[in-house]
Structure 1
């Protein structure tokens, strides 16, 4: 009998122990289940959508019954670019004109240029002749750099189909080949002269430049004294390059121009300041293009011409 009781007591104790262990586990599992359900509820778009659908009628009813209030919309402002355009319209527009300015370095038979080693900078004299014929046949009017600058500053009209012909560096072939053809076709020529090189081999002499300067259709401009790269030298040297050539042209030719032609087409802020300090109001660069603007008078655009028809350049 005692043995049976001990077995029953042991069985009851084991059942209690099992229940005591099972209950916390069930509780923990229930809590975990609720937690996972909550996370799923929040993340599940389906359940979220059903919740929204269930509350949607109440939301609509409340809004319909509420007293409507006036909504103040923010003032619309024009887009920044539109505002800038509107502001610009109220200001005077910059004055610009379309004038092609052609420039040449050498004009001579190409065979001669090959011997002298500058064929890449040369327009064959016969091709140059056909180019002048083309301009004449297409009713272009050759003008001076002075006329272009004056037209921009003073809003003056230029002749129909204006074009400027410029010749840099004062080489002897300009006098021998280009100058006679300019006279033959009645065109104005603009010669940029580095005065310190005149009389040297392959350069014009002062007598030849004087003859050109006395021709009413020709113009002579300052191209520095020794054709120096102005942006690579000191301020004092820049000043000398400008003023010595300016003095030579004034004393030997009786001319005073306020237009400069950059050697190599190069310049920097120091060069611009020196030119302005000596009274120059415009300068010819080697920047490509034909649009000449008031704000860019110190950078007049030019087109370098080669051994091709002028129609190649859109003329």
Structure 2
């Protein structure tokens, strides 16, 4: 196996082992999520990562079980929540359609293969939509002949294409090769480095994100409209660049309920609640005001 391929696979495995995802703590919220207000329509966004079988090792803040996910979807269904994706939000803001009662946005970062093996069948069972934000480098890697295991493997392009064809799944951009943190003075995800000139940063981010957009057009015939920040690191500079690249929705790792209005600016810097393994379904949703 080529040395570069080995390096990428090893990097991928390390990223999975430590599964940092985002860096914000889960805490109680009291913002109501039911019914439109004068300020806008409340929208909770739930952030998932990998999903493994019950009893599996590696469960934690960013890895839950298939049983937990099914309980989550069953709870949302029972409570009358309706899953939406980024395109639904864009259509609402542009006046093309209304949002359903009690909307909720389900996102799955990193593009693990467990999405097609475990998550997608559950979405079909409960009639829920979700957005999976893929990392281009890993999608390319797992489209080659490399060792794969459901616990850590990522979706390949064939699987991404199958999911894209479903009305229940939206594909988002999670950068091509910026899903890492390079030390104290290095780049943190897709964010600008301290002291970095804007034009230099713009080229780095544009080149990386555009590479994945072009890969999507090659394999899916359409690029992503949703961008999820790796590890939640973002800035005014990154938002400006992504808007210029045509993204309509950006997702952070800050926690809170979003208010969706007819102003397209409300779709940038959206907040999400990370779903950790340690929380029971009802307790998790109650803690963020979803009852």
CA contact (8 A) 2:46 2:274 kept: yes
- 1:167-246 equivalent positions in 2, closer than 5 A: 167-198=108-139, 199-200=141-142, 202-228=153-179, 229-232=189-192, 234-246=201-213
Query: What aligned pairs does 1:54-93 form with structure 2 within 5 A after superposition?
Result: none
Q: Could you say what secondary structure the match of 1:119 adopts?
A: coil
Aligned in 2, Cα 1:213/1:156: closer, same or farther, shift over 3 Å? closer
**C-alpha deviations, 1:38-89, integer Å up to 9, x for none?**
xxxxxxxxxxxxxxxxxxxxxxxxxxxxxxxxxxxxxxxxxxxxxxxxxxxx
Determine if the alignment matches structure 1 residue 314 to structure 2 residue 289.
yes
Q: Distance in 1 between matches of 2:57 and 2:90?
A: 34
Q: Give the whole-Å Cα distance in 2 for the aligned partners of 1:285 and 1:97.
A: 19
Deviations 1:271-299 (A, max 9, x none): 12221221223211112112234444221
How big is the shift at 1:242? Answer: 1.1
Q: Report whether the alignment pairs 1:271 with 2:238.
A: yes
Residues 132, 94 of structure 1: alpha-carbon distance in 2 compared, 3 angstrom cutoff:
closer
CA deviation vs aligned residue, 1:224-278 (integer Å, no higher than 9, x gap): 1124311145332111121001111122112233321111111123212221221
Gaps of 5+ in 1: 1-92
TM-score normalised by L of structure 2: 0.69
CA contact (8 A) 1:110 1:119 kept: no
Higher relative contact order (CA 8 A, sep 6+): 2
Q: Deviations over 1:84-107 (max 9, x none)?
A: xxxxxxxxx996320111110111
- Return closer, same or farther for 1:155/1:113 CA change in 2, 3 Å cut-off: farther
Distance 2:170 2:96 in 1: 22
Match of 1:304 in 2: 274
Q: Which residue of 2 aligns with 1:282?
A: 249
Provide the C-alpha distance between the structure 2 equivalents of 1:127 and 1:220, rounded to a whole number of angstroms: 23
Q: Gaps spanning 5+ residues in structure 2: where? A: 1-36, 143-147, 180-188, 194-200
Q: Distance in 2 between matches of 1:251 and 1:271?
A: 25
1:164 aligns with 2:139: no
Could you tell me whether the CA contact under 8 Å between 2:131 and 2:172 is conserved in 1? Answer: yes
Measure the CA separation in 2 of the matches of 1:166 and 1:172.
Answer: 15
Number of equivalences: 220
Asked if the contact 1:144/1:219 (under 8 Å) is kept, the reply is yes
Q: Secondary structure at the match of 2:46?
A: strand
Q: Residue 123 in 1 paired to residue 64 in 2?
A: yes
Q: After alignment, is 227-236 or 240-249 more displaced? A: 227-236
Q: Give the corresponding residue for 2:3.
A: none
Q: Match of 1:265, SS?
A: coil
Shift of 1:155: 8.6
Out of 28, 43, 46, the position equivalent to 1:99 is 43
What SS does the corresponding residue of 1:190 show, helix, strand or coil?
strand
- Once residues 305 and 177 of structure 1 are traced to their aligned partners in structure 2, the CA distance between those partners, rounded to angstroms, is 16
Aligned-residue RMSD, C-alpha: 2.3
Q: Secondary structure at the match of 2:209?
A: helix
